[in-house]
Structure 1
Amino acid sequence: MLFSSVVFLFYFLPVVLVLYYSLRFSLLLKNIVLLFASLFFYAWGEPWFVLLMLGSIFFNYLFALFVDKYRENKRTARFILIVMCVFNLGLLYVFKYLTFTLRIINENTQAHIAIPNIVLPIGISFFTFHAISYVIDVYRRHGKVQKNFFYVALYISFFPQLVAGPIIRYNTISEQMHHRRETWQKFSVGCCRFITGLGKKVLLSNSMAIVADRIFSMGAEGHIPASLAWLGAAAYTLQIYFDFSGYSCMAIGLALMFGFKFEENFNYPYISKTITEFWRRWHISLGSWFRDYVYFPMGGSRVKNKDKMIRNLLVVWLLTGIWHGAEWTFVVWGLINFACIAVEKVFNLDKMNRFNRLRHVYAMLVVLIGWVIFRSHNLVEAGNYLGNMFGLNHNGFWSDYTYMFAKEYGVFFLLGIIFSTPIAKRINKLVVDGAPFSKSLEFTYPLGILFLFLLCVCYLVKGTYNPFIYFNF
C-alpha cells in the first residue's frame, strides 16, 4: 500500500486514526491497533510476505534473548551473533541476490542453471536491517532486551517506516512504545509534515519521473542529443531526491500523528561540497547504520594505517552498492562513491574551507553521474547514456525535445531546485519570526497546507506515475 494513494489517504489512515484515538485510555490497546494495522498494511499487496516478515521477527526475537542470556560467555554470544547474521543475510540473499548470482554463473561458465522467478518482498532490506541492529544493540548493551514478542513485532513492522525506512534503532523507540504521549501539537505538526512529503512525492517527484522515464527510454533505444541527456539526468536527480525525502517526510509525519518521534533522514544533500558531506546528508539512517555496524567495528578511520582505512571504506561502499540492488550498476555506483570519499579523506578535502563553489560543482557532477548509473538497467545502457551526455557518440547537442520538456516542466524543475535547498526553509523562518506576518500566518499556513493536500489529491485521481523508487530495495 502506498502512502500516496487514495486507498491509504481516505480509507486506511482515517480508520486507523479513529481506532487509535478512540482507545486513548489504554496504551496497550493503542499498540495492538498499530501492530495489526501494520500487518494489514504490509499484507495489502502480497499477503504471504507477512508470514515471511513475522518469521524473521520471531527468530530475531529469539536471537536477542539468547544473546542476552549468554552475553557473559563471549564465545557463545559471538557464535549466536554469527548465526543471526547468517540467517538474516541468507534470507536477504535468497530473495534479492540469488537470481543475480545464478545469472552471473550462467554468463561466465558453461552451466545452464534454471533461474527461478523469485518475487522480492517489499522493504525486505529495511526490516532485515532493523532486526540485525536490534540484536547487535542487545549484545552491546545499547538497549535492554525485549522479552515480549509483541513489542519486537511492533518495532520492526510499524507501518510508517516498514517498507522504505528510515531505519530506526530499537533503543530510540523502545521508550516511546511504552511511555509516549500524543498531543495536539504533535498531531498537527505530523499532518503538516505528511502533507509536505506528499507534495514532494506527488507534485515534484512524479512530474520529474515523467521527464526522466521518457528521456532514459529514448537513450536506451539509441543516441540522443547531449542537452536532452543532461536534462534527463537532472530530472532523475530531482526525482529520486523528492521521492525518497518525500517518503521520509511522510513517515516522520505519520509517526508524530501516533505520538512517535523519528530522526530526520535527509538534510538538503544537494548543497554538499564533497561526497563525504553528501552522505552525511542523504539517507542519514542508512549511512549511520553502515557506520555503526560495519565501518566502526572494522576500525573506521581511526586505524593508523591508511591502507586499512581505505579497505574499510571499500567494504562499506561495496556493501552499500549491493544493498541497493542486485545489478552491476549498483556495484559500480558504490565504488564511485568509495573512490571519491577515499580521496577526500586521504587529502582532507572534506575539511577544506576554500573553493566552495568549485567543490559544490564537483560534488554535484559526481552525484549526477552516479544517479545515471544507478538509474540504468545495465552498464552498457549506463555507458551509452553517459556517452550521450558528454557528446562521445557523435550525437549533437540540441534537440526540440529539450525545448519541449523544459517548456512543459520548467516550473517543476525550478521548484525542485528551490526546494532541494534551504531557501524555502529560510524564507519560512523569516516569515514566522517577523512580527508583522506572525498573526496572518496562523490563518494562511493551514490554508496553504490544505490547498497543497487538495492539489495532491487531484494529481492522484488523475493517475500520474506513483510508485516509490526505494520500495525496490
Structure 2
Amino acid sequence: MSFATPMFLWVFLPALLLTYWLLPARWRGGVVSAASMLFYTWGGGPFIALLLGCIAVNFVVGIAVAAPQRSQAWRRRLLLLAVGFDLGVLAVWKYADFASRQVHALADVLGAGSTPVVSLALPIGISFFTFHHISYIVDVYRGSKPAQRNLLRFVTYIAMFPQLIAGPIVRYHEISDQLDDVPRHRVDDFVAGFPRFALGLAKKVVVADTVAPIADAGFATGAPLTTATAWVAALAYTMQIYFDFSGYSDMAIGLARMLGFTFPENFARPYSAVSITDFWRRWHMSLSRWFRDYVYIPLGGNRRGGARTYLNLLVVFVLTGFWHGAAWTFLAWGLYHGAWLVVERASGYGRSDSARLEWLRRPVTFVIVVFGWVLFRADSIGQAAAMMKVMVVPVGGGLTDRVAVALTHERSVVLALSLLVLLMPRDVVLGRLIDAGRGARATALRLASSWVAAPLAGMLVAVGSLSPFLYFQF
C-alpha cells in the first residue's frame, strides 16, 4: 500500500487516526503495531512471515546479548551471529538472483555448462528493516540502550509503517524512549504532523510523478541519444528521485508525528551542496549516519592514516551502492561517489569553508551529482556510459521523438519550476521549517501545505494512476 493512493488517504489513515484517538493512550503501541502488520501484509503478502521471523530472532537475541552474567566474548559471538543472520537474510532475498546470474554468465564464457539462475521476489522494505534490526542489536551490545523486553514495543519499533518500507532509517537509540507509555497530545501531534505529511504528498504527486515520464522516455532502452535528450532526461530524473524520496521522508515524518513519534530528518537541501562531502551530509542523512556509525567508524574511520581512510570510504560506498540494488550500475554509482569523496578528502576540498566560492561550487557539485544519477538510473553500464558521453561530447538533433512527446507543456513547466530548488538558500529546509519554524513565514507554509498542497495532491491522487515510490524497490 502506497501513501499516495486513495485506499491509504481516505480509508486506512482516517481509520487508524480515529482508532488511535478513541482508544486509551496505553494502547498506542498495539494500534500502531496492528496497523503496521496490516499495512505490510497489504503490499508484501506472504513476506509478512519473513518479517515476523526476523523480528522474533532479533528480539530473543537482543535479550541474550544484554545478559550481564555472560562474558564479553560470548556476547560478541552472539552479536556476530545475529548480524550474520540479518545480513544472510538480506543476501539471499536481495542478491541471490544477481549472484546466480553472474555465475551463469561466467560459466557460459568459460564453457563450463549451464548453471541454475535463482529468481526470488524481493520483499518490500527488506533493506530498511534489516538495518533497523542491526541497529538494535549493535546498540544493545554497546550498551547505548537496554534491550527491549516488551515484544509489542519491539514490533512497534521495527514494523512501524511510516518508515518500514523506505525509511528514514531510525536507529534504536534515537527512538527507544519514545516507545514507552507516556502522556500523548493527540490534537497537537496531528496539527504538527499533518502539514509535513501534506508537503511530502505534494512533492510526490505534483512534482515527482509529473516529471517521471520525461525521465522514463529519455532512459528507455534502445532510444536514440542526443545531447539535448540526455540532459533533459538526466535533469528530469534528478528532480524525480529527489522529490519522490524526500517527499516520502516528509510523509513518513509527518505520519509518525501524528502518532506521537519524532523521526530524524532525512534531507537538508542536498542540491545546494558545495561538495560531494556536503551532499552526503544532506542526502538520505539517516543512511549516511548509519554507515558512519556501524561501518565506517568500526573500520577505523579516519584514525589510521590517509590510505586506510580512503579505503574505508571506498568500502562504505561500495556497500552503499549495493545496498540500493543488486546491479553493476549501483556498484558503479557507489564507487563514483566514493572516489569523489576520496579526492575531496585528499585535496582538502571537502573540508574547506562552504561559503567560499559558493556561487561556483554549488553548480559544479550539482553537475557531478547529475552524472551520478545517470549511473543510478541506467539499465546497464553501457547505457550509462553512452548517455554520459553525449552529455559531454555534443550530438545534435534536438530532442528525440519519444522525449518530445513526453515533454508536454505541463511537464515542462513543472520540471522548470522544480529546478528552482537549486536557487533557494542552503539553510532554507521546508520540512524543518514546518516542524520547528516560528513566525509568519513558518505559519504561512503550514497553512499552504494544509489548505493548498494537500487538496491539490489529493485531487491528483483521485484522478491519477498508481506510481510506486522509487525507494520501494530498495
TM-score > 0.5 by shorter chain:
yes
Q: What is the identity, as a one-letter code, of the residue corresponding to 2:396? A: G
Contact 2:207 2:418 in 1 (8 A): yes
Task: Identify the residue that residue 175 of structure 2 maps to in structure 1.
Answer: 173
Q: How does 1:64-463 map to 2 (within 5 A)?
A: 64-69=62-67, 73-109=71-107, 110-178=112-180, 179=182, 181-217=184-220, 220-303=221-304, 305-353=305-353, 354-391=356-393, 395-399=395-399, 405=407, 407-419=409-421, 422=424, 446=447, 449-463=450-464
Preserved contact between residue 200 and residue 243 of structure 1 (Cα < 8 Å): yes
Alpha-carbon distance in 1 for matches of 2:468, 2:383: 23
Deviation of residue 434 (structure 1)? 7.3
CA contact (8 A) 2:198 2:449 kept: no
- The alpha carbon displacement at 1:422 in A equals 4.2
Q: 1:259-293, CA deviations, whole angstroms, 9 ceiling, x for partnerless residues?
A: 11111100000000111100000000000000000
CA distance in 2: counterparts of 1:205 and 1:239, whole angstroms: 4
Structure 1 residues 267 and 448: CA distance shift in structure 2, 3 A: closer
3-state SS of 2:278 partner: helix
TM-score with structure 2 setting the length: 0.92
AA partner of residue 68 (structure 1): A
Q: Identity of paired residues, percent? A: 39
Distance 1:452-1:290 versus aligned 2 partners, 3 A rule: same
- How far residue 389 of structure 1 moved from its aligned partner, in angstroms, is 2.0
Matched to 1:61, the amino acid is F
Indicate the SS of the match to 1:333: helix
Alpha-carbon offset, residue 111 of structure 1: 4.3
- Look up the match of 1:41: 39
Which has the larger displacement, 103-112 or 236-245?
103-112
Q: What is the rounded CA distance, in whole Å, between the counterparts of 2:271 and 2:120 in structure 1?
A: 36
C-alpha displacement of 1:70: 5.6
Distance of 1:368 and 1:71 partners within structure 2: 53
Distance (whole Å) between structure 1 residues aligned to residue 46 and residue 185 of structure 2: 33
The residue aligned with 1:17 is 17
Letter in 2 for 1:290: F
Deviation at 1:446, TM superposition (A): 3.3
- Whether the 8 Å contact between 2:104 and 2:116 is mirrored in structure 1 is no
What is the alpha-carbon root mean square deviation over aligned residues?
2.4
CA shift, 1:114, in A, is 1.9
Q: Which runs of no fewer than 5 residues in structure 1 stay unpaired? A: none
Cα distance in 2 between the residues matched to 1:421 and 1:293: 35
For 1:150 and 1:359, locate their aligned partners in 2 and report how far apart those are by CA, in whole Å.
49
Counterpart AA for 1:103:
R
Separation in 2, partners of 1:161, 1:422: 28
Gap runs ≥5 in structure 2: none
Distance 1:85 1:424, change over 3 A: closer
CA contact (8 A) 1:199 1:456 kept: yes
AA at the equivalent of 2:135: S
Q: Which string of whole-angstrom CA distances, capped at 9 and with x for unpartnered residues, describes residues 441-460 of structure 1? A: 67x96366223222112212
Partner Cα distance (1:184, 1:346) in 2? 51
Q: Once structures 1 and 2 are overlaid, which stretch shifts more, 418-427 or 106-115?
A: 418-427
CA shift at 1:115, angstroms? 1.6
SS in 2 for 1:61: helix
Instruction: Give the AA of the match of 2:172.
Output: Y
1:172 positional shift: 1.8
Give the aligned length: 461
Is the Cα–Cα contact under 8 Å of residues 268 and 283 in structure 2 kept in the other structure?
Answer: yes
Instruction: Give the Å deviation of 1:139.
Output: 0.5
SS of alignment partner, residue 300 of structure 1: coil
Aligned mates of 1:415, 1:9 — CA distance in 2: 26
